[in-house]
Amino acid sequence: MKLIRWPFLLITISIVSCNMPSNSGDSNDMAKWFDVGYDGSEGGKDSSGLVAGDASSNVAEVEVPAIPIGAALKGTYTVVVADANGDLHQGSGFLLDKNLLVTNHHVIDGFHHGFVRINDKSPNYAINEVLKVDVRHDVAIIRVESIDKPFVLPISKEMPQLSQRIYALGCPKGLEGTMSSGIISQFREMDGNGVCEDAAHASFYQTDVQITNGSSGGPVVNEKGHVIGIAVSGFGSGLNFLIPARFIEILNQGTY
């Protein structure tokens, strides 16, 4: 990849390109961690730290509160990864637990070491390990050092609808803390061409929201601030794609 010096990160990085995922995959089981609405507080392994959606919890199902769109940036991170050759690559990601972050597989492919941060005024948090990957759907779960004041973004329990307003958060072209808005344009099959009847059957969400190099792995949220997808591919001219958020939960449950 072409190396570009970004003053925003004060290091030489290679901006991660937004490629469509490949067609092979593997995953294991991490069933607890992605309970919708977990607030990242201590005591996360007993039921007091859980809300609706976790099979091990007896807590009654509750409505996850809305998050102001601007506040969702507090749970959105720049992901900087070095490969074995020392080349640095950048993408985006978002926090779903106090020590766990989701991004695209292609952002962390070849990971040797790296860090995440909210912006250039915040601390760097080391990436400890890549826990799980779904190569086919381009999703990865990574573990990071304990983050100060973690802000967890909940997965939406509502499937998005055509023409619904959505917001992409991330670090396009090295510009940390960027927001852009658009709509769901169509639901697509795995090849990116065929039309699906609804979001529940889609492999991609087509959108006109801005997605470009560096956006990959960032959260895309609805007007409640809940994650409906992961930014993955940008072709410009309002033709961009998201990975449905349900694939995070599939990876978590180890159903492949």
Residue among 92, 180, 203, 216 flagged as catalytic: 216
* Catalytic site includes residue 216: yes
Name the burial class of residue 123, with classes exposed (0-12), middle (13-18) and buried (19+) by CB atoms within 10 angstroms of its CB: exposed
Q: What is the DSSP string of 167-236?
A: EEEE-GGG-TTEEEEEEEEEEE-TTS-SBPSSGGG-SEEEE-S---TT-TT-EEE-TTS-EEEEEEEE-S
What is residue 155's DSSP assignment? B
Question: What residues have CB less than 8 Å from 219, skipping those under 6 apart?
Answer: 72, 75, 76, 92, 94, 102, 153, 168, 169, 170, 227, 229, 230, 231
* Catalytic site includes residue 97: no
Backbone angles phi, psi at 68, to 5 degrees: -55, 135
What is residue 250's DSSP assignment? H
* Catalytic site includes residue 106: yes
What is residue 49's DSSP assignment? G
Residue among 35, 134, 138, 215 flagged as catalytic: 138
Are the beta carbons of 102 and 141 closer than 8 angstroms?
yes
| Rounded distance between C-alpha atoms, residue 242 and residue 256, angstroms | 20
Are the beta carbons of 196 and 238 closer than 8 angstroms?
no
HSE (side-chain half, CA atoms, 13 Å) at 238: 6
Backbone angles phi, psi at 179, to 5 degrees: -120, 145
Residue among 35, 92, 105, 106 flagged as catalytic: 106
Residues known to be catalytic: 106, 138, 216
